[in-house]
């Protein structure tokens, strides 16, 4: 039987520490637990997280009293995002010294490979204390389940990944933005279509353009992106055009007071090569957006005031930052034809004069972004087509 299981990691300021253990207090002291430990962990710590030469391989250790055997697979992940450019951990199983360890080697290897992959993908181990996700299962609960299931049933099946809500439909005019470095986790086992789609995600191309450039059918591209959405690997934004309209949301106050250093984060993301302006200018730019002004008109207004925004700021990234952080919201434009709406109410098919191209888009449910993506025409041409409808028949709804 497995007598104990524990998760240890190397902390730069404290050395090797037991983070979680089952049963409680079996390896390291815990408040409120008064029971003898299997062995003195301090004397074994250098073997639990050993030198790098012994990392990423199966390791067995016997305690000084020769009563327990520790089976582990210490892992060292090298990455500049970690302090000292590395993250070291070990999931260990404790068994009796007389117990055959052969069946448990595969278990220890699987624990190491699984948690390594989870750490690489979303820092599941290193960011445990910082995670606020309610769907996340705690590591303490996981190792308890592993120990009990292996002891009672000789197998263990647990949902390591949370069950997410089904993502909203992917539209052809949406623009996907990566939330992780896919190049670090993709390998030869990944679906070929998924790899072709991911290669085209750059934060600029819309779904239709991605499908075209990846040489993948649009429906398959949407399915691939929906999978990535489900696992929270990407987020979707609207297509950025200079004819778009944005306005500040109430959360803009967080930016004004520089909550969590948001202003410096924004400046690092949006300023282009050259001199950086004081963060006050970013506040000015955000607060000057409004519901009655397109991005193009907003740029011209600042140019007329002597501030050439394009010389300092990547406007697309500036707007993206505002939308992602919830500082800005988008106002969409919807064409509405009274004749077409009447035909929908009565159920009678009507062919409206001048509406050959856009009639089916004038029911109040289709925004200009959709028309742009599906008809491959810009705002100016859309307006030209709408002017061909009978005079006074079409109105533009902003919402």
Q: What is the pLDDT of residue 123?
A: 87
Residue numbers in the chain where pLDDT is lower than 50: none
Among 116, 109, 104, 74, smallest CA distance to 4 is for 104
Six token digits for residue 376: 């491959």
Q: What is the pLDDT of residue 33?
A: 84
Domain of 136, in residue numbers? 4-153
Q: Are residues 136 and 194 in the same domain?
A: no
Q: pLDDT tens digits for 315-354? A: 999 999 999 999 999 999 999 999 999 999 988 888 898 8
Q: What is the pLDDT of residue 53?
A: 83
**Do residues 283 and 256 make contact, with C-beta atoms less than 8 angstroms apart?**
yes
Q: What is the pLDDT of residue 121?
A: 82
Rounded CA-CA distance 319/368 in Å is 18
Q: pLDDT tens digits for 15-66? A: 999 999 999 999 998 888 888 899 999 989 999 999 888 899 999 999 989 9
Examine the fold and report which residue of 286, 309, 331 is the final residue of a domain before the chain moves on: 331
Rounded CA-CA distance 50/88 in Å is 9
Q: Which residues contact 261 (CB under 8 A, 6 or more apart)?
A: none
Residue 160 lies in a domain: no
**Do residues 19 and 139 make contact, with C-beta atoms less than 8 angstroms apart?**
yes
Burial of 66 (0-12, 13-18, 19+ CB in 10 A): exposed
Six token digits for residue 177: 């933005």
Residue 117 lies in a domain: yes
Rounded CA-CA distance 321/327 in Å is 8
Q: What is the pLDDT of residue 138?
A: 84
Residue 163 lies in a domain: no
Q: Are residues 195 and 325 in the same domain?
A: no
Total structural domains within the chain: 4
Q: What is the pLDDT of residue 132?
A: 57
Q: Are residues 184 and 130 in the same domain?
A: no
Examine the fold and report which residue of 191, 213, 237 is the final residue of a domain before the chain moves on: 237
Examine the fold and report which residue of 288, 309, 331 is the final residue of a domain before the chain moves on: 331
Max CA distance (Å), the chain: 95
pTM: 0.64
């Amino acid at each position: 039987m497995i007598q104990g299981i524990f998760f240890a990691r190397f902390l730069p300021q404290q050395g090797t520490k037991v983070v979680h253990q089952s049963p409680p207090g079996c390896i390291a002291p815990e408040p409120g637990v008064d029971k003898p430990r299997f062995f003195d962990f301090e004397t074994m710590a250098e073997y639990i997280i050993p030198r790098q030469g012994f990392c990423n391989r199966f390791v067995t250790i016997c305690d000084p009293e020769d009563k327990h055997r520790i089976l582990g697979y210490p892992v060292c992940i090298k990455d500049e995002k970690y302090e000292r450019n590395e993250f070291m951990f070990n999931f260990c199983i404790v068994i009796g010294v007389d117990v055959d360890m052969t069946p448990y080697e595969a278990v220890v290897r699987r624990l190491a490979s699984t948690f390594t992959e989870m750490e690489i993908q979303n820092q599941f181990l290193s960011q445990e204390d910082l995670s606020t996700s309610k769907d996340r299962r705690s590591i303490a609960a996981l190792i308890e389940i592993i120990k009990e299931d292996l002891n009672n049933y000789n197998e263990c099946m647990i949902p390591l990944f949370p069950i997410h809500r089904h993502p909203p439909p992917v539209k052809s005019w949406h623009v996907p933005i990566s939330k992780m470095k896919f190049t670090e986790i993709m390998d030869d086992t990944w679906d070929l279509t998924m790899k072709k789609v991911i290669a085209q995600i750059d934060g600029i191309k819309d779904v239709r353009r991605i499908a075209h450039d990846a040489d993948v059918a649009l429906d398959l591209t949407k399915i691939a992106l929906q999978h990535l959405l489900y696992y929270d690997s990407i987020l979707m934004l609207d297509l950025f055009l200079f004819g778009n309209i944005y306005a500040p949301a109430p959360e803009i106050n967080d930016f004004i007071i520089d909550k969590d250093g948001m202003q410096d984060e924004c400046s690092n993301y949006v300023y282009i090569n050259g001199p950086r302006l004081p963060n006050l200018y970013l506040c000015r730019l955000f607060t000057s957006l409004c519901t009655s002004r397109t991005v193009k008109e907003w740029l011209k207004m600042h140019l007329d005031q002597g501030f050439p925004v394009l010389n300092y700021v990547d406007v697309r990234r500036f707007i993206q930052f505002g939308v992602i952080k919830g500082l800005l919201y988008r106002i969409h434009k919807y064409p509405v034809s009274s004749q077409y709406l009447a035909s929908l109410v009565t159920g009678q098919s009507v062919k409206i004069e001048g509406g050959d191209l856009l009639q089916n888009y004038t029911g109040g449910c289709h925004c200009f972004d959709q028309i742009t993506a599906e008809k491959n025409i810009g705002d100016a041409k859309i307006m030209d087509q709408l002017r061909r409808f009978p005079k006074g028949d079409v109105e533009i709804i902003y919402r």
